[in-house]
Amino acid sequence: MNMQECEAQCLANCTCMAYTNPDASLGGRGCLLWFGELIDIRVYPEVKSGRDIFVRIAASNESVAQLSYIKKRGANTKIIILVIVAGVLLIGFTTSWLWHVRKGNNHDESMEEGVISKRQEEAMELPLFTFSRIANATANFSPDNKLGEGGFGPVYKGVLEQGHHVAVKRLSRNSSQGLDEFRNEVICISKLQHRNLVKLLGCCIQGDEKLLIYEYMPNKSLDAFIFDKAQGMFLDWTRRFNIIKGIARGLVYLHQDSRFRIIHRDLKASNILLDQDMNPKISDFGIARSFGGNESRGNTEIVVGTYGYMSPEYALDGIFSMKSDVFSFGVLVLEIVSGKRNRRFTQQENNNNLMGYTWNLYNEGRSMELVDATFAESCHPQEVLRSIQVGLLCVQQNAGDRPNMSSVIMMLSGEHSFPQPKQPAYFMEGDLFAANFSASTKPTGSINELTITEVDAR
């Protein structure tokens, strides 16, 4: 190239910082270009004359960036070049330092905006907390503030500057759940407002750190009461019955009254939180699914949920619907009445599980024997019998035989007639283990085509 072509080549590339003709012996031709920082300019021995180097400098207020040239003549030229190079490096270092400082101060917000913006149209506006603020609120996630740990990760109690208590769910790096579940919970629950659903106050994202900030539930989760004899004394029948009805109202909202139809898919005792007045609030929407329009069911190749609460059509075929949540609700009702876990209960005489045991008592007219002794004296028999029958109707084998949650509300209040329940889906303990296998199991022995992931919440 000649010098005019060399100049045009440099001007056409915004990363070109300088150009020159490297060798006078080439007859005015030849082009040497510098890109990026001028870190490879060298100081040569004293000479009587040298070549011209044209360096890009900062633009003035009236014009765009332009190329200017510096004639280096002997020692003076070398000094000028060194000053320019030092200035460029100093400006670059200062700019880089300021950028990093700004990034450090606003890292939380920028990361949050970058991730959440992918679903901005879907997600309602949700407060974004800085990581440093949450770390301060939880005493840097002190073990003393740890409330429990589930499939998502550990949960910590925190106190914000104004004295508000919060629960902070922190995604574990070893968690089976990840960014998809995090986003799913943010998007699902941020759209929901109901007294029987836990309230999401905000979220925080910083690099690998993903946090969900909820209202604090001082009485933790339902399983801590109904499966513990000492704690169970604090739940008389009136409170238990109110908890059953509160969960039912929350499901009616999810299935019918919310902006989107929500199927929870992991309803269980540990995902029911209790406020200071023992009011129930449904939590943990990490694997929930939302539907629009007239959609009411879906299917998946990977079954996730908790063993013992999953409906047969979901555990075996991956088909989930509102009736899947109804089944889980039925199991939960029987657990609240009996104070026994469905998963671990076995009637030794005939190997029945909790549902089979309840079914036998019902057929023999001995349903009151199911009642947990801790509240037997405080119970109202008609409400107890009503609850047991509702529980059996909800855990029937065929999804079409199960009532919807609106009918459940009316049956619990005595405003709806009761159909005769049919035999539960998992009558024997062995039936529960059979749910580990796909309904499409072939005689060749191809088994376990569907993976059941157990997620234990706080």
Across the chain, what does the average pLDDT equal? 79
Considering the domain 223-454, what is its CATH architecture?
A: Orthogonal Bundle (1.10)
Beta-bridged to residue 369, according to DSSP, are none
Confidence tier at 152 by pLDDT (50, 70, 90): confident
According to the model, what pLDDT value does residue 276 have? 92
Among 157-166, 187-196, 318-327, 416-425, the least confident range: 187-196
**Extents of the domains making up the chain:** 3-93, 131-215, 223-454
Whether the pLDDT of residue 264 is over 70: the answer is: yes
The DSSP letter of residue 265 is S
pLDDT digits (tens, 9 = 90+) for 181-195: 777 777 777 778 899
Name the token pair of 234: 């604090």
CB-based contact 137:131 (threshold 8 Å)? no
Query: Which are the contacts of 195, defined by CB distance < 8 A and separation ≥ 6?
Result: 246, 249, 279, 281
Among 97-106, 162-171, 212-221, 257-266, the least confident range: 97-106
What are the distances in angstroms from CA 360 to CA 21, 300, 365, 366, 440? 98, 34, 9, 8, 31
CA gap 119, 104 in Å, rounded: 25
CATH H-level superfamily of 131-215: Phosphorylase Kinase; domain 1 (3.30.200.20)
CA gap 29, 268 in Å, rounded: 80
pLDDT digits (tens, 9 = 90+) for 344-356: 776 666 678 899 8
Beta-bridged to residue 34, according to DSSP, are 18
Which residues are annotated as catalytic?
266
Closest CA to 271 of 322, 309, 238: 309
Whether the pLDDT of residue 364 is over 60: the answer is: yes
Specify the residue for token string 């905006």: 113
Confidence tier at 445 by pLDDT (50, 70, 90): very low
For residue 52, how far is the Cα from the chain centroid?
A: 61
Average pLDDT over residues 60-73: 45
CA gap 430, 318 in Å, rounded: 20
- Identify the H or E element spanning 443: none
CA atoms within 13 A on the CB side of 396: 16
**Amino acid occupying residue 421:** P
Using DSSP, state whether 69 is helix, strand or coil: strand
The DSSP letter of residue 7 is H
Using DSSP, state whether 169 is helix, strand or coil: strand
CA gap 113, 127 in Å, rounded: 11
According to the model, what pLDDT value does residue 82 have? 75
Whether the pLDDT of residue 408 is over 50: the answer is: yes
Query: Counting Cβ atoms within 10 Å, is residue 10 exposed (0-12), middle (13-18) or buried (19+)?
Result: buried
Confidence tier at 115 by pLDDT (50, 70, 90): very low
Give me the DSSP letters along 323-363: HHHHHHHHHHHHHHHH---TTT--BTTTTB-HHHHHHHHHH
What are the distances in angstroms from CA 95 to CA 99, 190, 245, 411? 6, 39, 61, 69
Closest CA to 455 of 315, 306, 342: 306
Kindly give the residue spans of alpha helices, DSSP state H, lying in 117-197. 131-137, 179-190
CA gap 94, 181 in Å, rounded: 41
- At 236, give phi and psi (nearest 5°): -75, 180
Whether the pLDDT of residue 244 is over 60: the answer is: yes
Confidence tier at 279 by pLDDT (50, 70, 90): very high
Q: Higher pLDDT residue, 137 or 92?
A: 137
Whether the pLDDT of residue 273 is over 90: the answer is: yes
Give me the DSSP letters along 76-119: HHHHHHHHHHHHHHHHHHHHHHHHHHHHHHHHHHHHHHHHHGGG
CB-based contact 374:233 (threshold 8 Å)? yes
